[in-house]
Amino acid sequence: MREMNLDDNSNNLVQSLTNGDSEKISTSRFSSLLASKDRDYLLSSTEADQQVRISDLEGKVIGLYFSANWYTPCRNFNKVLIDVYEQLKSNGSNFEIVFVSSDEDLDAFNSYRESLPWLSIPFSDLETKKALNRKFEVEGIPCLVILQPEDNKDGATLYEGVELIYRYGIEAFPFTKERLEELQREEKMKHESQTVTDLLTNPGRDYILGQTITGKVPVDSLIGKTVGLYFSAQWCFPCAKFTPKLISIYQKIKQTLEEKGGEDFEIVFVSNDRDQSSFDSYFGTMPWLALPFGDPTVRTLAKYFDVQGIPCLIIIGPDGKTVTKQGRNLMNLYQENAYPFTDAKVELLEKEMEEAAKNLPRSVYHAAHRHELTLVSEGTGGGPYICCDCDEQGSGWAYQCLECGYEVHPKCVRAVAPAGSIEGR
Ligand SMILES: [Zn+2]
Ligand SMILES: [Zn+2]
């Protein structure tokens, strides 16, 4: 802490010596970060070489945006960030973004800068860019570090700007710890009072799609059912593997419930497809319902449930509350027995699995692996794993190769005689 302060002071000193404007500069924390010996300005994007004085940033919340043109995740994030930036600008918020380039050359930097509406540190100022990367320990891009205007300590600096923008958008402003706590509280309350109608409708739509062309199904028909929200897309390879399994499990659950009466289960496809025709052909393979392609609720839901990757199956209970976000894993582990996915049910299934494991052989040879596999559990080095046979997640019991870490679900083992033993056993 002490060292950092000394550093800042010495930077300020350099500034004041070179600019002869010691009073102004020494109060500006942004100058010490963003200026160099011979530069007290940043580049604006609007006109090629227009300059903006760093002292103009005083009193603003600043986002330092570490990014590069050549990297797709940066370009994807730009779309979201530009939108938030323009909204904040137009409502008069005290916010500015400063681009810290990791581009490879000046041409790339210039063409990238043209597409970004905020300020930039000149490409040629390697030293300042390096110092910022070092100071904020930037390990990957895109990275958005948010600095508060009044705070000279690092306590108020937020490092997870990218995540916050993706999650909360403009709502995250002014990015203080207090604001984030407030958002988290609001989010928790929303989840606690959520209903399936709130989740799946929006002001322009109160239905979802059924499987016939004219088949609009009222969202309210899902009230009182267990509902799986299936985030998936045709272009996604793990989805292509999981969907047929899900269809077969879905049909088994439906059949059992029909015989039993009283309860119902439904799945709603939340499409991440790139165009209407891939949506149509993918949805055509599914026996359940869907949100319309490109509906704004798709994005809202992905944000709301913080969906990080697909396929993802989120289970909503008959009361409209979230039961689990682990629907996919539970189905892989327990198939149709996973229904209704509640903690109580999972606990029961785990106990059953423990019992069943008692009867499993301690070790086996599996057709797809040449070493002997040993039965392990959570307590004995098992833990969550990816089954090398079916590529799906597992947890609890597994057969593991102690030599090379190969691991499979007990249900995926195809037992054989040991490799190399001609006579067998
Ligand atoms: Zn498996
Ligand atoms: Zn092995």
Distance 329 CA to ligand 1 centre (A): 11
Instruction: Give ∠ CA 62-66-67 in degrees, rounded to 5.
Output: 130
Q: Does 262 lie in the same domain as 204?
A: yes
Ligand closest to 406 (CA) is: 2
Distance 418 CA to ligand 2 centre (A): 12
Ligand closest to 371 (CA) is: 2
Q: Does 202 lie in the same domain as 182?
A: no
Task: Report the candidate in 103, 125, 132 with the shortest Cα–Cα distance to residue 30.
Answer: 132
Number of domains composing the chain: 3
CA distance 358 to 332: 21
Q: Does 151 lie in the same domain as 17?
A: yes
Sorted by sequence, the CB contacts under 8 Å of residue 130 that are 6+ apart come out as none
Distance 400 CA to ligand 2 centre (A): 8
Half-sphere exposure of 263 (CA within 13 A, CB side): 14
Distance 282 CA to ligand 1 centre (A): 25
Q: Does 163 lie in the same domain as 51?
A: yes
In a domain, 286, yes or no: yes
Looking at the DSSP assignment, which residues form a beta bridge with residue 374?
A: 363, 400
Q: Does 377 lie in the same domain as 278?
A: no
Final residue in a domain of this structure, among 344, 373, 396? 344
Q: Does 169 lie in the same domain as 24?
A: yes
Distance 213 CA to ligand 1 centre (A): 37
Q: Does 273 lie in the same domain as 159?
A: no
Final residue in a domain of this structure, among 133, 166, 187? 187
Burial class (CB in 10 A: 0-12, 13-18, 19+), 5: exposed
Q: Does 224 lie in the same domain as 294?
A: yes
Task: Report the candidate in 295, 329, 296, 299 with the shortest Cα–Cα distance to residue 314.
Answer: 329
Looking at residue 390, its pLDDT comes to 86
Write the secondary structure of the chain as one string of H (helix), E (strand) and C (coil).
CHHHHHHHHHHHHHHHHHHCCHHHHHHCHHHHHHCECCECEEECCCCCCCEEEHHHHCCCEEEEEEECCCCHHHHHHHHHHHHHHHHHHHCCCCEEEEEEECCCCHHHHHHHHHCCCCEECCCCCHHHHHHHHHHCCCCCCCEEEEECCCCCCHHHCECCHHHHHHHHHHHHCCCCHHHHHHHHHHHHHHHHCCCHHHHHCECCECEEECCCCCCEEEHHHHCCCEEEEEEECCCCHHHHHHHHHHHHHHHHHHHHHHHHCCCCEEEEEEECCCCHHHHHHHHCCCCCEECCCCCHHHHHHHHHCCCCCCCEEEEECCCCCEEECCHHHHHHHHHHHHCCCCHHHHHHHHHHHHHHHHCCCCEEEECCCCCEEEEECHHHCCCCEECCCCCCEECCCEEECCCCCCEECHHHCCECCCCCCCCCC
Q: Per residue in 88-121, is it b (16+ CB within 10 Å) or e — as a string?
A: beeeeeebbbbbbbbbeeeebbbebbeebbbbbb
Distance 413 CA to ligand 1 centre (A): 8
The whole domain housing 336 covers 196-344
Q: Does 110 lie in the same domain as 7?
A: yes
Sorted by sequence, the CB contacts under 8 Å of residue 150 that are 6+ apart come out as none
10 Å Cβ neighbour count for 58? 17
Looking at residue 21, its pLDDT comes to 42
Q: Does 386 lie in the same domain as 316?
A: no
In a domain, 300, yes or no: yes
- Tell me the CATH number at 278: 3.40.30.10
CA distance 297 to 356: 43
In a domain, 418, yes or no: no
Distance 93 CA to ligand 1 centre (A): 52
Q: Does 170 lie in the same domain as 57?
A: yes
In a domain, 179, yes or no: yes
Distance 366 CA to ligand 2 centre (A): 10
Looking at residue 216, its pLDDT comes to 93
Final residue in a domain of this structure, among 130, 154, 187? 187
In a domain, 177, yes or no: yes
Q: Would you tell me the crossing angle of helices 72-90 and 161-168 to the nearest 10 degrees?
A: 60
Looking at the DSSP assignment, which residues form a beta bridge with residue 385?
A: 394
Cβ < 5 A residues, ion ligand 1? 387, 389-390, 409, 412
Distance 346 CA to ligand 2 centre (A): 31
In a domain, 279, yes or no: yes
Q: Does 182 lie in the same domain as 201?
A: no
Distance 238 CA to ligand 1 centre (A): 14
In a domain, 231, yes or no: yes
pLDDT along the chain (425 residues), means of 10: 38 40 53 91 78 92 95 91 96 96 91 91 94 94 93 78 90 93 92 95 93 85 97 95 95 96 95 95 96 93 91 97 95 92 94 87 94 85 81 84 91 83 45
CA distance 42 to 64: 12
In a domain, 26, yes or no: yes
Distance 394 CA to ligand 1 centre (A): 7
Distance 414 CA to ligand 2 centre (A): 15
Looking at the DSSP assignment, which residues form a beta bridge with residue 312?
A: 231
